[in-house]
Amino acid sequence: MPRTDSPFRYPGGKTQLYDFVVNLLEINRISGTYCEPFAGGAGLPIKLLKNGLVKSIWINDYDKSIYSVWNAILNKPDQLINRIRQVPFDYYGSDNSDQYNIEYWREQRSIYFKEKNHQNSIDNAFSTLFLNRTNRSGIITGGPIGGYQQANTKIYARFNKETIINKINIIASMSEHIKLTRMNALDMIPQMRESLDEYKDFIFFDPPYFEQGSNLYYSSFDESGHEDLAKEILSLNKHKWITTYDKQQQISELYRSAKFRFEYELRYSANNNNRGRRPELIFASPTLKIKSHQPVFLQQMK
């Protein structure tokens, strides 16, 4: 798996599509704003900005807890970093008992459920990031790494303080080039249509998966939501965009009018049962030049 520049761990994260997206930007001569309406961990846009391949990024997430983390990183990084430093364990070990560490985890989980509707709360931001780093597969509402008994793997196996803090500092240093919003994607699309350049800017739609979205994401869609989203995305026929989804017949039908419809495979590890390569779908706007590029090999859908 490629290294991500995001402080998050995210199931199904698209950072591994980085080289493919870079190639898309190059062949379409795009260097303006890169936009993700379902940013989540935002590993891909952060890496593009860090490497100077785009001038700015627009990251959006409707989930109040995910938004709170990005808001803290961009506007209150020192407060978030101080909270991280106070955690009583680190990737390199702990001076406390497993029971003590699990109790600390329980406290943060309780804070998360109390604060999750407060999008500007530093308590929400920290507890969300903490649970993402210490829960199995990064699923915020899941259980702790290593289980409650901590028999083998320990809860701090993915909690390297200095690495997380370094990522936060780097992102905060680029804040003037990052636009952060918390909007429903359906409400955001009209704004993108008006504010994004049809030639210089790029949109990557990565909605919650149709099949497992409700298990992985707090802000998931029902079937009618996916249908409404498809209509809005397909209406952006002058802008340059791609949309990725899990391979489901319902999604194929919703995007049957898209000019470019492909299948590809992507490594996915949201749980042990789904490890390995899984087929996914990708749709593209009619104005976008698109071709296979490592690690994505496109197969035209019938």
Can you give the pLDDT at residue 210?
Answer: 72
CB 283 within 8 A of CB 255: yes
The CA–CA distances, whole Å, from 80 to 69, 166, 168, 242, 300 equal: 9, 12, 9, 33, 45
CB 65 within 8 A of CB 8: no
| 42 CB-near residues (< 8 Å, 6+ apart) | 6, 8, 36, 57, 59, 70
Question: What are the DSSP E strand ranges found in the chain?
Answer: 33-36, 56-60, 178-181, 202-205, 241-246, 260-267, 277-284, 299-300
Can you give the pLDDT at residue 267?
Answer: 60
Can you give the pLDDT at residue 302?
Answer: 76
| 21 CB-near residues (< 8 Å, 6+ apart) | 44, 48, 204
Structural domains in the chain, CATH included, are 14-62+183-300 (3.40.50.150), 72-169 (no CATH)
Tokens representing 67? 């938004």
Dihedral angle, C-alpha 85, 115, 43, 191, nearest 10 °: -140
Residue with tokens 């379409």: 28
Can you give the pLDDT at residue 212?
Answer: 57
Can you give the pLDDT at residue 208?
Answer: 86
Can you give the pLDDT at residue 276?
Answer: 55
Specify the pairing of strand 178-181 against strand 56-60. Answer: parallel
CA distance linking residue 1 with residue 85, whole number of Å? 27
Q: What is the mean pLDDT of each run of 10 residues along the chain (302 residues)?
A: 83 85 98 97 97 98 97 99 98 97 99 98 99 95 96 96 98 99 96 97 92 50 86 96 94 95 75 62 97 93 83
